[in-house]
Each structure stands twice: as C-alpha cells, then as structure tokens.
Chains A and B, each alone.
Chain A
Amino acid sequence: MALGSWSLLAIFELVIFITTFPLLAFGWLMGAKGKNPIRDAPFESGQTRLGEARLRYMMQYYPYLIMYVAFDVVAMFLFTWGLAFASLPFAQGYLFLVFVAILAVPLGYALYLSGRRDLW
C-alpha cells in the first residue's frame, strides 16, 4: 500500500487532531465553571477595562510589509533559479547578479522611507 506524500500528511494531521481535540474538550468539560464579571474581564494589569480591544492601531511599519510582498515573490523565483544554477552556463549566472543589483535599489529606497519617521 503506497500512499502519496499529501495523503500521508493528511493522515498525520488527522492523528494530531484526534489526539489534541479530546484534550481541549476534556479541559472544557472538566474545568470549573462560573460567572464573575471581574474574573471574566480581559487582563489589563488589574486596571478596570476600558472598552473593546478591537481598536484601530497605527501601522507603524507599513513599508516593511510592502517590501515583504515584493521579496516574497522574488525569493520564490530565486529558488527556481538556484535549483538550475549548477547546470546553467556562465551568462545566466551573470544575469542573476545584475538582477539582484537592480533589486537592491528599491530595497534601499524602501529602507530610507521606513527610516523617515515624519512619514509614519
């Protein structure tokens, strides 16, 4: 009986699920129950809770996220290039160096933007 990689992964995840889920259910059923407004309040270092926690937070590090989107895709392309690298002739490898050098320019600009605090 030969199973494919993904079916083996699915079986493994199933094993984790059927052993972990009862733990949670057991804890839910066996643990003490009770209602108390003070105990049920979210932890705020002993202070009285001030409204919900789902507020608007300032996205201070936004340029980093933009860089992530770009470099995530680039990294994936680099992997396909790296796989074939040893069997490529000299010229393609050389082209790659140029590509990375071009890549460094927007990276540097994004880092400059993220360093300028007045833009946040």
Chain B
Amino acid sequence: MVTQLQGLPGLQELINSVLKIITSRTFLEIVVFPGFLNVLLSAAFLTWLERKVIARVQLRIGPLYAGMWGILQPIADGIKLLFKEMILPELADAKLLMLCALGLMMLAAAPIVAIPFGEGLVIANMDVGLVFVFAVLSLFPSVVLLIGWGSNSKYSFLGGLRSLFQQVAYEIPMWLSVLGIVMLTGTLNLTEIVRAQQKVWFVIPQILGFAVFFTAALAELERTPFDLPEAETELVMGWMTELSGAAFMVGFLAMYTKLYVMSALITTLFLGGWSGPSIVPEPLWVVLKTFLVAGVIVIIRGTFPRVRVDILLRTGWTRLLLLALANVFVTVIMIWLGFGWVWRV
C-alpha cells in the first residue's frame, strides 16, 4: 500500500493529516464519547427505556421483537420514519418547520459541550459553563413557538404558546436553585463544580435547591406532571402535532436529547458527576447516574397526573421561587457558620 502511494506524495500527506485529525483526542471527544455518538445513542436508548419502563408501570411488556428485549426498536422506528411521507398542512411554512426541527436538535445537544464526563474529559472546558448551559436552554421556547406558528394549525400553536409560558416561568427558579452551588464553590466552571463535590455531593447541603431544580427540569422538559404543551387528551401532540416523517423523528430525538442533557446536568450539579468508587471508570459513573435520573423522570411520567395551567404558573412563581430564595438564605447561613471550606476547591 505504501509503495503504491509513493508516486503520489501529496495524497500520502493528505491521508496522513486526515488520519492525524481523526485519531486526535479533540476529534474523538467531539464525535465519539462525550460528543455526538454518545448523545445520539443515549437519546435513542432513552426512547426505548421510556417505552419499556412505562409498559412495566402499566403492566404491559413493551417492545419485544426487535433484538434482545426489543433494544433495537429505536433503530427500527428511525428507519420507518425516514421512509414515511412528510405530510405538512397546506398553509404551513415547510422550510421554517424543517429549519426549526434541525435547530431544535442542534440546541438540544449543545449543552453537552460543557458537561464533564470525567477528569479532563470534556469537549470545551468553559469558565462560564453553567451560564452557557442556561443560555442554550432558554433559547428553546422561541424555537418551539416558531414550530407552533409555522405549522399553521391551532393545536400546534396552542401547544407552542403553552410551552413558551411554562419554560419562561420555570427558568427563574431553575437559575436561582443553583445559586447556592455557585456561592459554595465560587465558580461557574462545571468541571470545578464536580471537583468540589469529591467530599460531599451537593444533593446533601443543597437538598432544597435539588428539589427545586428537579421540578423545574421536569417543566423545562415538558414532562408529566407538567406536560401541558403536549397534553395528549387536549392538544393531540402539542407543537409536534403537524410534524411527520423525518421532521418528526428529528424533533422527537431532540426532545430525548434534551432529557439526556438535563439528566446529565442534574448529575453534574448535584450528584457528584464522575465521583464514585473506582470499581467503575469515571465516564461510566456519569452515564449510569444520568440514566438513573432519566429513569426516575420516566417513572414520574408513568405515575403522576397532569396539573392545570394556572396551578402550574402559580406554583412556579410562588412556591418554587420562594423555595429557591430560601435555599440561597440557607446557603448564606451555612457559609457564615463556617461550613463553606468543605466545597472550596
């Protein structure tokens, strides 16, 4: 092979440089492990997990025939949806819908860039990682509203509006619930935040913040008990009603990517990230904890009823905001009493 290519030195160099890029750590991080493949496969796995767990909750069996325990079901679904006809309403803005589905996927996966999956195993070690993640998450409502508006269907638009209100209402409690962590560690870097948890995980001193963050995460993810934007009995499928075929697949995958990213964020902020006994390698700890959190969210979907719109909004603005502020005061007292050194890095 080498002798054959000697006549073409340019090609040889090109192949070498391409090989060098492909085997470089940065490239592998972006494409394989904390990056693209990890996100895609985990999101596909979560669709299977959700169907299987909810089936168990409802005394069914769930997917069974594609592969062992139906584990290949997401792939079968994906292939099926790829070959389906894309039916869009006659007055819908088809280009806008495609663009928004694509943008939703890109937005949903973006926070994974800042989330550490091990000591030094992070795509971009951002100093403002936490703010970056929240900034990306707060872009979601506008894209969702655009999908609802672009479909030109009443169900879609109502779903989009509800999604906007809900995500906007729960963003503030969500931000304030992690303020305690920022005060204790004195940094916004997610890697540093995980390092600070080597002694005690933040779920113990920040139990109030954890509760608020988890509830707000459920609302941000539009999942039961806050799944008003796609309340099946009222709005069919919410803002996703008029998406079909490949566009639906991408939008659906984006929602599960968001679930994975949010679970990973909860793991990073409150459950100690990669820290744990070294019987299991660090990245595996993160993935295991993430799937555990996602599993809890799925079980909640199988067991809780849906709340009403006004109750949802008032709960977000009164109870959760007050609880988040109370958490800040508890943290202030904790630092004044001199417990802060445990989490300083």
Contact = CB atoms under 8 A, between A and B. Distances in A.
Given A21-B102, A23-B250, A26-B82, A75 B26 contact: no
A43 B250 contact: no
A24 to B, nearest CB: 5
Contacts of B325: 100
Interface string A47-60: 00000111001000
Contacts of A31: 83-86, 245-246
A28 B110 CA distance: 25
Given A30-B82, A40-B87, A42-B92, A17 B102 contact: yes
A16 B37 CA distance: 10
Nearest to B123: A8
B335 interface: yes
A50 to B, nearest CB: 9
B161 A57 contact: yes
A114 B317 CA distance: 11
A97 B332 CA distance: 10
Q: How large is the interface on B (under 10, 10 to 19, 20 to 34, 35 or more residues)?
A: 35 or more
B169 interface: yes
Given A57-B161, A79-B131, A40 B89 contact: yes
Contact of B154 (A16, A53, A79, A93): A53
B90 A41 contact: yes
A93 B334 CA distance: 13
A72 B182 CA distance: 17
Interface string B324-336: 0100110010011
Contacts of B317: 64, 67, 107, 111, 114
A42 B237 CA distance: 13
Contact of A86 (B85, B149, B171, B186): B186
A96 B26 CA distance: 42
Interface string B217-250: 0000000000000000000100001100111011
Contacts of A57: 157-158, 161
Contacts of B106: 13, 16-17, 20
B90 A40 contact: yes
B105 A16 contact: yes
Interface of A: 1, 3-6, 8-9, 11-13, 15-17, 19-21, 23-24, 26-28, 30-34, 37, 39-45, 52-54, 57, 61, 64-65, 67-68, 71-72, 75, 78-79, 82-87, 90, 93, 96-97, 100, 107, 111, 114-115
Interface of B: 24, 26, 30-31, 35-36, 40, 81-92, 98, 101-102, 105-106, 109-110, 112-113, 123-126, 131, 149, 151-158, 161, 165, 168-169, 171-172, 175-176, 179-180, 182-184, 186-188, 236, 241-242, 245-247, 249-250, 313-314, 317-318, 321, 325, 328-329, 332, 335-336, 340, 344
